[in-house]
């Protein structure tokens, strides 16, 4: 029994952490293939801060060192939420607000949905690649989930979460992840490691192709020290030499004192 408990504990400790992110489609989904992915905004009906909120959400996904995603804000567009549903718009990715969210939501949104869903993000693709994406924000007057009812941090969190869907991510089972289905407990715009793993899986950094090298370990050959090593090594050698020298001199003094006639 004791052996069983020990084995069980070891299995728990040694088990690798499970990946929690999911993809918003096939498990072979590849994300957008064009780079950069150009993002446009129609600010009509939206909260006044929507443009700065969106830029912060874009910057968040851009901040993952292991991902090669290039997400670029391109400015304003006249494409309205009502034109997004059939994905016939010319832009790659559009964010717009809707005061008729029930009709403009690609899958429809009933009265219960209007009070719980503040935005929707989605994409269409060709083969395994994403070709176009949308984010539609609920600003239906009277709806509890109206984005105008949210604070600044929640608006940014919401836009970042929906951008994650548009880029190809599904919901994560990790409660601390931005891509967890419920943003209710979150106060700060930030990515969890699971979000970073997900976006890096869809948009890996190609260090030997289009993306420059990150920060490879570098051997300093500039000869910055007289001994040709790094400063800590030659300092250590210097101190060791001094210490041995002092020890030998102390021993010589002691021998000389012991040898003196009484
Ligand atoms: Zn979601």
Q: From ligand 1's centre to the CA of 54, what distance in Å?
A: 16
Ligand 1: distance of its center to the CA of 93 in Å?
Answer: 17
State the total domains in the chain: 1
Domain that holds residue 136: 21-202
Per the domain annotation, does 5 fall within a domain?
A: no
pLDDT of residue 5: 44
Residue 31 in domain: yes
Own/partner pairs, 140-145, CB within 8 angstroms, 24+ separation: 140/98, 140/99, 140/100, 140/101, 140/102, 140/114, 141/99, 143/101, 143/114, 143/115, 144/114, 144/115, 144/116, 145/114, 145/115, 145/116, 145/117, 145/118
Cα-based distances in Å from 64 to 70, 98, 151, 157, 178:
11, 31, 25, 16, 14
Q: Is the pTM of this model over 0.85?
A: no
Residue 37 forms part of a structural domain: yes
CA of 178 to the centre of ligand 1 (A): 9
Q: State which residues of the chain have pLDDT below 50.
A: 3-14, 215, 228, 254-262
Ligand 1 center from residue 126 Cα (angstroms): 22
163 alpha carbon – ligand 1 mean position (Å): 9
How far is the centre of ligand 1, averaged over its atoms, from the C-alpha of 161 (Å)?
Answer: 6
65 part of a folded domain: yes
Tell me, yes or no, whether 62 lies in a domain. yes
CATH number for the domain including 40? 3.40.390.10
255 occurs within a structural domain:
no
| Residue 158 Cα to ligand 1 middle (Å) | 9
What does the pLDDT look like over 80-111, one tens digit per residue? 999 999 999 999 999 999 999 999 999 999 98
Q: 16 lies in a domain? A: no
pLDDT at residue number 242: 74
Residue 224: inside a domain: no
Ligand 1 geometric centre to CA of 118 (Å)? 10
pLDDT of residue 12: 43
Supply the pLDDT for residue 161.
97
DSSP output for 97-158:
EES-HHHHSTT---HHHHHH--EEEEEEEETTEEEEEEEEEE--TT-TT-GGGS-HHHHHHH
Q: What is the pLDDT of residue 6?
A: 44
């Amino acid at each position: 029994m004791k052996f069983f408990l020990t084995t069980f504990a070891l299995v728990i400790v040694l088990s690798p952490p499970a990946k929690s992110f999911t993809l918003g489609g096939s498990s072979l989904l590849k994300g957008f293939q064009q780079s950069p992915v150009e993002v446009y905004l129609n600010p009509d009906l939206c909260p006044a801060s929507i443009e700065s909120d969106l830029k912060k959400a874009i910057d968040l996904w851009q901040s993952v060192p292991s991902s090669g995603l290039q997400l670029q804000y391109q400015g304003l567009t006249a494409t309205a939420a009502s034109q997004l549903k059939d994905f016939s718009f010319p832009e790659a990715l559009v964010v717009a607000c809707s005061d008729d969210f029930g009709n403009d939501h690609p899958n429809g949104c009933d009265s219960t949905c209007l009070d719980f869903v503040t935005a929707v993000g989605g994409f269409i693709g060709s083969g395994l690649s994403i070709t176009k994406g949308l984010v539609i924000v609920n600003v239906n007057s009277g709806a509890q989930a109206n984005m105008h009812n949210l604070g600044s941090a929640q608006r940014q969190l919401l836009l970042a979460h929906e951008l994650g869907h548009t880029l190809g991510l599904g919901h994560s089972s990790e409660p601390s992840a931005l891509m967890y289905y419920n943003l209710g407990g979150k106060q700060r715009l930030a990515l969890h490691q699971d979000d970073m793993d997900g976006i890096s899986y869809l948009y890996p950094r190609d260090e030997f192709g289009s993306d420059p090298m990150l920060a490879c370990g570098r051997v300093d050959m500039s000869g910055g020290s007289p001994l040709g090593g790094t400063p800590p090594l030659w300092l250590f050698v210097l101190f060791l030499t001094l210490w041995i020298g002092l020890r030998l001199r102390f021993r010589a003094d002691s021998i000389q004192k012991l040898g003196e006639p009484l």
